Amino acid sequence: MQRFINNPDEVVEDTVKGFVKAHSDIVRLAENPRVIAARNAPYQGKVGVITGGGSGHEPAFIGYTGKNMLDAVAVGELFSSPTAKSFYDAVREANGGKGVVCLYGNYAGDNMNVKMAVKMAAKEGIEVATVVANDDVCSAPPEERKKRRGVAGEIFMWKIGGARAASGASLEEVRATAQKAIDNCRSIGVGLGPCTLPAVGHPNFQIEPGTMEVGIGHHGEPGVRVEPLKTADAIARDMCRIVLDDHALPEGTEVAVLVSGLGATPLNELYILNDTIEAEITGRGLKIYRTYVGNYFTSLEMVGATLTVMALDAELKELLDVEVHCTALL
Amino acid sequence: MQRFINNPDEVVEDTVKGFVKAHSDIVRLAENPRVIAARNAPYQGKVGVITGGGSGHEPAFIGYTGKNMLDAVAVGELFSSPTAKSFYDAVREANGGKGVVCLYGNYAGDNMNVKMAVKMAAKEGIEVATVVANDDVCSAPPEERKKRRGVAGEIFMWKIGGARAASGASLEEVRATAQKAIDNCRSIGVGLGPCTLPAVGHPNFQIEPGTMEVGIGHHGEPGVRVEPLKTADAIARDMCRIVLDDHALPEGTEVAVLVSGLGATPLNELYILNDTIEAEITGRGLKIYRTYVGNYFTSLEMVGATLTVMALDAELKELLDVEVHCTALL
């Protein structure tokens, strides 16, 4: 492993410490050292907005903590759900007396621990609403959409939910708008190379050189097929076809596009993908309102990329335009 | 090569197209397709600020184009200097009638081509001042500092120079302030894994597994030593020692810190490095004014990281605080 680590079992500990030191103008460590909070959270009279998830996806999840975004984030071990206690403590850090919405991804551990945290919060009189992201098209067929995993669409869900909460909306309004955001998202991942958990010391799955895995998940979950590696053009067309066929948006729909690297893919290659992605999306009669290209939701040093397309309406456009102050997003 | 590319000889072409499509609210392609300009540049009555360099370092150089930053950037082939004509065209795109400053890195090709571009501009009556970055400590001894290469310290030079120009300063004032910024920077790179130019198809240098190269350059230029891979703690202490011994700053000096990945290193590992870097810097009695951690200046999919420390005074702090609107920097 050619990696910058100390004790492989303390990667998350060391990451969180270095993160808080770098960005103490934006975030703070909560009493629970597995919870990052926005520096000035909680905001009295504002709905709190939280998430949580496994580490190794940086800048997700912690990098989206900040003004008009997430108020607190529960931090799990590498590729593992945060504990129920950490989700609960994130709720407490974000609670400004108007309830808290937890916007998270559809994974078994997260589902279980968020459910427990909601009960713990209820006992303390804190109402917690939840939205579960399931934007990953290849992880289940359309008729079982609720079984799909949450991936980079979560970033749009957080941005929209955070902006709605900052506008003074009620808990139910924030929940409903965040739900609309993720319902309007479809994502796909393509993997060209695996990643290694430092404590394991060898790749947690294999991608043979000269091949790629279409529909891969954020932890190497199998996709819909393994096939010979194609050109960037062909891959981008395939990603667009899978996402847009599932989305089935009317011509003229405005969309936001997010192209994220999975960790070890150079930024210039994401731009190469975007060149074709833009052509494919506009070729279908859709209008691109904004494009994000970068390492927004990664998987350690996995080689690969994800595409997320969010359909917009007037409300979502306005909320997407709200300025935020966090480390991961302009 | 597990990469998202089309024709290996058209990587830069495809990158630039995808970049401009993604960020047309901030940048535009100039008439010369190897020049990116800020969308609203040139600004009449403002000193123009440009740079240029080889591709493959994204988000450098193009991602720093934008408001209060760079007005135009000359784009070279992968790891190759832009042509003199491209530097000259970048000057023209940035010229608002008050002269243009070219802030670039110390490499033979760039030096030659900038020099020619300055002459071409002079013939057209455009005055061009230059500042050459040489912040890479390990590339030459202190007594030959002018021979050192420019690396990630260039980002601070652009940010300071761009802010000074935006304040309405004269060409000579902008030049002098940008020169102060880079004079106040020291950088070091550590390489853990090589990178591959797509048109070549194999790594352009070797780093044996279990070893690392201390003092490596942005194109794999040899460092001061190859040694067994150490812990992140030990590597960070070594980086700080090399940078700060060369810098020799008085106790109490305020500094800006930039920790950049070289392409394929996960973001969480940069935070692990930063945990020790922060301790080492403050342990020497220096005060950290601001920290940047991310993939700010990369080398395709090289595994590794760089550390840059810039000493601040009141002027540099004020200029560092000026808000910018570009794709690569908050």
**Is the CB of residue A117 less than 8 Å from the CB of residue A192?**
no
Q: What is the pLDDT of residue B204?
A: 84
Structure tokens that stand for B309 in this block? 């420390």
Query: Residue A316 pLDDT > 70, yes or no?
Result: yes
Distance, in Å, from the CA atom of A121 to the CA atom of A125, rounded to the nearest integer, reads 6
Q: What is the pLDDT of residue A329?
A: 84
Distance, in Å, from the CA atom of B260 to the CA atom of B305, rounded to the nearest integer, reads 6
Structure ipTM: 0.97
* Model pLDDT for residues A243-265, shown as the tens digit of each residue: 999 999 999 999 999 999 999 99
Query: Residue A204 pLDDT > 90, yes or no?
Result: no
CA distances to A21, B235, B260 from B276, rounded to whole Å, are 10, 9, 15
**Is the CB of residue B51 less than 8 Å from the CB of residue B70?**
yes
**Is the CB of residue A56 less than 8 Å from the CB of residue B266?**
yes
Distance, in Å, from the CA atom of B36 to the CA atom of B77, rounded to the nearest integer, reads 14
Query: Residue A282 pLDDT > 90, yes or no?
Result: yes
Whether residue A220 lies within 8 A of chain B, CB to CB, comes out as no
**Is the CB of residue A263 less than 8 Å from the CB of residue A300?**
yes
Q: Hey, of B2, B3, B4, B226, which one would you mutate to test binding to chain A, going by the most A CBs within 10 A of its CB? A: B4
Could B264 and A263 be called an inter-chain contact, meaning their C-beta atoms sit closer than 8 Å?
yes
State the burial class of residue A210 (Cβ atoms within 10 Å of its Cβ: 0-12, 13-18, 19+).
exposed
| Interfacial A residues in 4-23 facing B (CB < 8 Å) | 4-6, 11, 14-19, 21-23
Whether residue B291 lies within 8 A of chain A, CB to CB, comes out as yes
Distant-in-sequence, close-in-space partners of A127: CB < 8 Å, separation ≥ 6: A99, A100, A121, A171
Return per-residue pLDDT of chain B as tens, 330 residues. Answer: 899 999 999 999 999 999 999 999 999 999 999 999 999 999 999 999 999 999 999 999 999 999 999 999 999 999 999 999 999 999 999 999 999 999 999 999 999 999 999 999 999 999 999 999 999 999 999 999 999 999 999 999 999 999 999 999 999 999 999 999 999 999 999 999 999 999 999 998 999 999 999 999 999 999 899 999 999 999 999 999 999 999 999 999 999 999 999 999 999 999 999 999 999 999 999 999 999 999 999 999 999 999 999 999 999 999 999 999 999 986
Q: What is the pLDDT of residue B317?
A: 98
**What average pLDDT is seen over chain A?**
97
Which of these, B262, B263, B259, lies nearest to B272 by C-alpha position? B259
Distant-in-sequence, close-in-space partners of A57: CB < 8 Å, separation ≥ 6: A218, A297, A298, A299
Distance, in Å, from the CA atom of A193 to the CA atom of A55, rounded to the nearest integer, reads 19
CA distances to A51, A133, A134, A161, A275 from A113, rounded to whole Å, are 12, 15, 17, 21, 40
| Interfacial B residues in 20-59 facing A (CB < 8 Å) | 21-23, 25, 55-56, 58-59
Size of interface A-B (CB pairs under 8 A): 187
Query: Residue A323 pLDDT > 70, yes or no?
Result: yes
**What average pLDDT score do residues A17-29 get?**
97
Structure tokens that stand for B167 in this block? 């304040």
**What average pLDDT score do residues A177-199 get?**
97
Percentage of chain B surpassing pLDDT 90?
98
- Chain B CB contacts of A305 under 8 Å are 4
* Model pLDDT for residues A300-311, shown as the tens digit of each residue: 999 999 999 999
Q: What is the pLDDT of residue B330?
A: 64
Residue among B11, B268, B270 whose CB faces A268 most closely: B11
Active-site residue flag, B219: yes
Query: DSSP string covering A215-257, please?
Result: T--TT----SEEEE---HHHHHHHHHHHHHHHH-PPTT-EEEE
Query: Residue A330 pLDDT > 80, yes or no?
Result: no
* Model pLDDT for residues A76-103, shown as the tens digit of each residue: 999 999 999 999 999 999 999 999 999 9
Distance, in Å, from the CA atom of A192 to the CA atom of B102, rounded to the nearest integer, reads 39
Domains of chain B: 8-183 (3.40.50.10440), 185-320 (3.30.1180.20)
**3-state SS class at B50:** strand
First to last CA, chain B: 32
Which of these, B320, B26, B308, B292, lies nearest to A293 by C-alpha position? B26
Query: DSSP string covering A63-113, please?
Result: GGBSBTSBSEEEEEEETSPPPHHHHHHHHHHH--SS-EEEEEE--HHHHHH
Q: What is the pLDDT of residue A56?
A: 98
**What average pLDDT score do residues A24-40 get?**
97
Helices (H), strands (E): how many in chain B?
8, 12
